[in-house]
């Protein structure tokens, strides 16, 4: 049987998202996936694994709503942010009719998910936020259902000014959902817009425990939105999205004790980031070091391919951004421990000018 004939025609030539962990390289210093360098170890005893978990565990929603300072009815739990992106796409967008908008360079799953569901995309390249062009939104407003804003943005680390976001919310308040991806917001919590949920019914905020909480391995995320939107999502989300062991872990990590631990880890990571930022600016072949509000730093080099391969040979794994539009010769560096940051700088300093050319 030719299985390709069974697959939707738009999928046969589909290029999938390349996750950091799918890169089959050996390394000892992993600075390519924006993970927390802090390993959370604890003993977990699960009971009643013969029973299905609650679809939306109330104790977890209660704890996360308290942590996020939103109403209980404004929260939905999902398998990471990626499931939320998929849910919004398949619920709100009609194939070959509706559109989603995003501002590149940014997280690629917005585009990829739209492509899978045959939803047209409007990709706006943003070099900076000066003189933001609102007319592009107005021009596409008729069939524009979702606008994704990664804030802080991955991979650049910058953050869309709040006033621009509010203007976008007002422009499409009766036509489109504005979905703000706050995966990295704990690293700049004062920049969150979750408090605007009550004022703007078309605002959605996506959150995750993968980054600052250091729980990337359990795949747990949250959608925070108007209660009517949450009710719609609840109708279409998988019957049992969060496994019992994950529920137990999340319940533990949303306690006051572990939230305090997370905040201390964030302070340490931000401290390492500031140290690394200053050191990177002194490396001769690095042309630009981008200011970052997240747990990573984007740099522009003379030759990113050479730098990536050279560091891989030393066991240091970074994320190449060279193929992203507008990011030629750019590399994203996740912030590791102080020792890992020092090792990175040490190896970068060893690279000579003649080797690059």
- The structure's pTM equals 0.92
Mean pLDDT along residues 57-86: 97
Please classify residue 22 by burial: count the beta carbons closer than 10 Å to its beta carbon, then call 0-12 exposed, 13-18 middle and 19+ buried: exposed
State pLDDT tens for residues 332-345: 999 999 999 999 99
Q: Which sequence spans correspond to the domains of the chain? A: 8-37+261-350, 58-254
* 8-37+261-350 belongs to CATH 3.90.1150.10: yes
State pLDDT tens for residues 6-27: 556 665 565 655 665 555 567 7
Residue 50 has a pLDDT of: 86
* Exposure letters 73-87 (e unless 16+ CB within 10 A, then b): ebbbbbbbbbbbbbb
Q: Is the pLDDT of residue 287 over 80?
A: yes
Q: Is 263 within 8 Å of 302 (Cβ atoms)? A: no
Q: How far is CA 82 from CA 53, 210, 334, in A?
A: 21, 12, 20
Residue 37 has a pLDDT of: 80
**If pLDDT is split at 50, 70 and 90, which confidence band does 177 have?**
very high
Q: Is 251 within 8 Å of 63 (Cβ atoms)? A: yes
Distance from C-alpha of 207 to C-alpha of 198, rounded to nearest angstrom: 17
Q: How far is CA 20 from CA 24, 93, 115, 220, 313, in A?
A: 9, 29, 21, 18, 17
The answer for residues whose C-beta is within 8 angstroms of residue 135's C-beta and 6 or more apart is: none
Task: Just give the CATH number of 58-254.
Answer: 3.40.640.10
Q: Is the pLDDT of residue 216 over 70?
A: yes
Residue 28 has a pLDDT of: 72
Topology alike, domains 8-37+261-350 and 58-254: no
State pLDDT tens for residues 33-53: 777 787 766 656 666 788 889
């Amino acid at each position: 049987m030719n299985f390709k004939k069974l697959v939707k025609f738009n999928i046969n030539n589909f290029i999938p998202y390349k996750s950091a962990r799918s890169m089959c390289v050996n390394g000892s210093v992993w600075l390519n996936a924006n993970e927390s360098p802090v390993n959370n170890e604890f003993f977990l005893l699960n009971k009643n694994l013969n029973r299905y978990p609650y679809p939306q565990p109330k104790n977890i929603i209660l704890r996360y709503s308290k942590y996020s300072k939103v109403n209980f009815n404004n929260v939905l739990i999902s398998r990471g942010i990626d499931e939320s992106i998929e849910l919004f796409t398949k619920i709100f967008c009609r194939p070959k009719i509706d559109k989603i908008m995003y501002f590149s360079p940014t997280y690629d799953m917005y585009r990829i998910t739209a492509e899978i569901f045959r939803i047209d995309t409007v990709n706006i390249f943003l070099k900076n936020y000066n003189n933001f062009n609102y007319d592009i939104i107005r021009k596409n407003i008729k069939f524009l259902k979702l606008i994704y804003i990664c804030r802080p943005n991955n991979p650049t680390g910058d953050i869309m000014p709040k006033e621009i976001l509010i203007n976008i919310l007002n422009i499409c308040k009766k036509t489109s959902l504005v979905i703000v991806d706050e995966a990295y917001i704990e690293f700049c919590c004062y920049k969150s817009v979750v408090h605007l949920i009550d004022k703007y019914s078309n605002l959605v905020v996506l959150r995750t425990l993968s980054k600052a909480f250091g729980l990337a391995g359990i795949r747990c995320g949250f959608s925070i939105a108007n209660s009517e939107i949450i009710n719609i999502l609840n109708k279409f989300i998988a019957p049992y999205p969060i496994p019992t062991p994950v529920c137990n872990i999340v319940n533990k990590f949303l306690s006051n004790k572990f939230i305090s631990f997370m905040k201390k880890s964030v302070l340490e990571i931000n401290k390492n980031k500031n140290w690394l930022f200053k050191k990177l600016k002194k490396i001769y072949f690095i042309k630009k070091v981008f200011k970052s509000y997240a747990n990573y730093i984007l740099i522009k080099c003379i030759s990113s391919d050479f730098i990536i391969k050279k560091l891989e040979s030393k066991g240091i794994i970074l994320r190449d951004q060279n193929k992203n539009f507008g990011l030629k010769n750019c590399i994203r560096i996740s912030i590791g421990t102080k020792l890992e940051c020092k090792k990175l700088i040490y190896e970068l300093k060893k690279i000579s000018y003649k080797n690059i050319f």
